[in-house]
A and B are shown apart, each in its own frame.
Chain A
Amino acid sequence: MSSIIETVDLVKEYSQGEKSLRVLKGINMKVEEGDFMAIMGPSGSGKSTLLNMIGALDKPTSGTVLIRGVDISTLSDNQLADLRSKEIGFIFQFFNLISRMKALGNVELPMVIAGVPRRERRERASKLLEMVGLGERMHHRPMELSGGEQQRVAIARALVNDPAVLLCDEVTGNLDSKTGQDIMQLMRNLNNEQGKTFVLITHDPVVAQSTDRLVTLHDGEIIGEKRVW
């Protein structure tokens, strides 16, 4: 299997006035196509920073991020945006849905950005909402939905442009354990049935145990990597 994402000596620093804060200290990591992997680590260890980096949302201070073999530092801002639009789906802890749009509208949004025609948008969005179990809730606004339902909308939104990789930042962190398990099951099915690649950040050892591969981050460095099975 070929690496879909690869980082080489990835360093990220934040400058805070005089001194600079080194958040990632040379990360070498590979995400293979079809992976279902977790990144764990204490708060502030740089997990979200790493995820943003491999999702082409942020630029490294030094080192390289290769997405499908392409060094993203060679891409323009517009090319990066297009890459995020087509190859990557982000799912966040706090769902980050647009509150004034209905579920359907939220799921359609990435397709609006990608320039998909209206009729196809409608069709794909409703199909995906049905798939995540929200066929009855398409016309509800986020505030009319439970946390679990909102996260399902967010998953549908992340999937709608058929990306290869889904990057999930503590997607179950804001849900109770039963709902969290359902969401995990949904993602696992997507991985099994559609071959979607998942990178999950989590604090929850139970979640981590249900993945195939676990990377442990500490203070900006990878301190452990193991196959869960």
Chain B
Amino acid sequence: MAFESLSERKFRFALNLLGIMIGCAAVTGLISLTQGMNNEITSQMGILGTSTITVIPGTRLSSMLASSQEGGFMGSSGGSSFNPATTSELDWRDIDILEKMHGIDLVVPGVSGGQGTYIRKGVTFSVSVDGITDRYFEINEADEILEGRELLRSDKAVVIIGYSLAYPFDGEEQYLDVGDRIKLTTKVNKKEKTLSLRVVGILEESGSSIGPGGGDESFMIPLRTYEQFFETGGEYTSIQVKAVDPDFIDQLSDEIEDALEGVSVITSELAMSMVDSILGTVEAVLSGIAGISLLVAGVGIINTMTVSVMERTREIGVLKAIGARSSDVLFMFLSEAVMTGIAGGAMGAVFGFMLSTFVGNYVGVTAEVSLSLGTITLLFAVITCVISGLYPAWRASNLNPVEALRSE
């Protein structure tokens, strides 16, 4: 019988450990994953460059940003209530205005959103298509040519392809090379169209499948060619502007917003703060979930320790009879809780890192495995266990020894 209760206790200890471990694994895993995501996005945002301003049509984004930064747009002037938030588009007139402004080095329009398919070596590939100018690479310094060349002013039916299109299946075999010709097929206004293109360049791998005209699975063709093929009517989806002096970028973006009505202006700083706030929310929600699982584990510990104190009442009586102080008994039970916390926290942190690395691999995010996060998790686990164990331990230490010895 004594043996039974012993193994039962071990079982309960194991359950506690599991509870704390799951809680900690959730905390560590989720946080390291969001941190990894944050790192990833931050580094991608860095590509925009500190002196680059991106202008996009519509005021929705800028008013959103303004309200998120200034705490509500009710405070802004009443005149803005009639802002045509959706209508205006970007075209050559905007380029004209921008090129005449002071403090601007370079103006590069771009179009994106095109889709198409082509067949190569019997495989059908679908790609997103962007229209760029020959100045594109001057402003998007992170996009580098691996093989071939950049666009020339005179280029017409040519294409620069993303890395994954040249080496689609883990780089085993090259499917497209500089000089190859392909037929891009798409539907524009419900009619089938085909465009013959010659590959002039292959981009270096960027690691992302999306991005402003630089994804690994996209085509970059000359702007004019894009406009004709996709029948855009001369509208741009974005205009990138390079400021002469990055220090005046905020002032310049204000001026641009005033000069071109109905547009939004994105600087890398603004974009970053937006991403930060979104990721912050995600992280808070995930941490909340993880926190709840730790809380549940804590309640489990309270329960187990209370049972354990009840079971060991007689033992506590014996301890006091042989000279244990109340503080000794308190310490004994608390140290059990601390052990649970250390073991569960450490195992949970390791397990959480393993999980986030695994999941991160799967979704293409490098989870951030940091000693500081592991330490915080461990600390958190120990604190949870101590808080949960405090009341049962206190009760144990305050038992009357005579009563405790009389108990069965």
Contact = CB atoms under 8 A, between A and B. Distances in A.
Say whether A and B bind each other: yes
Given A99-B6, A142-B2, A114 B405 contact: no
A146 interface: no
A77 B330 CA distance: 14
A90 B321 contact: yes
B6 A113 contact: no
A143 B3 contact: yes
B321 A55 contact: yes
A100 B323 contact: no
Interface stretch (B162-170, B263-271, B311-319, B382-390): B311-319
Contact of A81 (B5, B320, B400): B320
B322 A52 contact: no
B318 A96 contact: yes
Between A52, A99, A113, A157, the greatest number of chain B beta carbons within 10 A of the residue's beta carbon is seen for A113
A85 B326 contact: no
B328 interface: yes
Interface string A195-218: 000000000000000000000000
A110 interface: yes
A113 B324 contact: yes
Contact of B322 (A58, A99, A100, A109): A109
B401 A86 contact: no
A141 B318 CA distance: 17
A92 interface: yes
B402 interface: yes
- Say what secondary structure dominates the interface of chain A: helix
A21 interface: no
A114 B323 contact: yes
Given A90-B322, A143-B2, A113 B315 contact: no
A98 B315 contact: yes
A82 interface: yes
A110 B317 CA distance: 13
B325 interface: yes
A52 B318 contact: no
Given A57-B321, A113-B323, 8 more contacts: A57-B320, A78-B326, A81-B328, A82-B323, A86-B323, A99-B6, A110-B323, A143-B2
A64 interface: no
Between B6, B314, B322, the greatest number of chain A beta carbons within 10 A of the residue's beta carbon is seen for B322
Given A81-B320, A84-B321, A92 B326 contact: no
Nearest to A158: B322
A98 B2 contact: no
Contacts of A158: 322
Interface residues of A, number: 28
Contact of A57 (B314, B327, B401): B401
Contacts of B321: 55, 57, 84, 90, 96
Contacts of A96: 314, 317-318, 321, 405
Interface in B323-340: 323-328
Interface string A135-170: 000000011000000000000011001000000000
A113 B402 contact: no
Contact of B323 (A58, A85, A142): A85
Interface of A: 52, 55, 57-58, 77-78, 81-86, 89-90, 92, 96, 98-100, 109-110, 113-114, 142-143, 157-158, 161
Contacts of B328: 81, 113
Nearest to B312: A98
A121 to B, nearest CB: 14
Contacts of B2: 99, 142-143
B320 to A, nearest CB: 7
Interface string B365-408: 00000000000000000000000000000000000111001000
Contacts of B400: 58
- Say what secondary structure dominates the interface of chain B: helix
A99 B311 CA distance: 12
B401 to A, nearest CB: 5
B322 A85 contact: yes
Between B325, B327, B400, the greatest number of chain A beta carbons within 10 A of the residue's beta carbon is seen for B325
8 contacts: A58-B402, A78-B325, A81-B324, A81-B328, A82-B323, A82-B325, A98-B315, A114-B323
A57 B314 CA distance: 14
A84 B6 contact: no
B330 to A, nearest CB: 12
A-B pairs with lowest CB-CB distance, top 4: A85-B323, A81-B325, A99-B2, A110-B322
B400 to A, nearest CB: 8
A82 B323 CA distance: 6
A98 B312 CA distance: 10
Contacts of A52: 402
B314 to A, nearest CB: 7
A213 to B, nearest CB: 24
A113 B322 contact: yes
A168 to B, nearest CB: 12
Given A57-B401, A77-B325, A100 B319 contact: no
A92 B327 CA distance: 24
A180 B400 CA distance: 30
Contacts of A157: 322
B318 A161 contact: no
A124 to B, nearest CB: 14
Contacts of A90: 321-322
B148 to A, nearest CB: 75
A57 B402 contact: yes
A59 B98 CA distance: 93
Contacts of B324: 81, 85, 113
A96 B323 CA distance: 14
Given A52-B402, A92-B405, A143-B3, A98 B325 contact: no
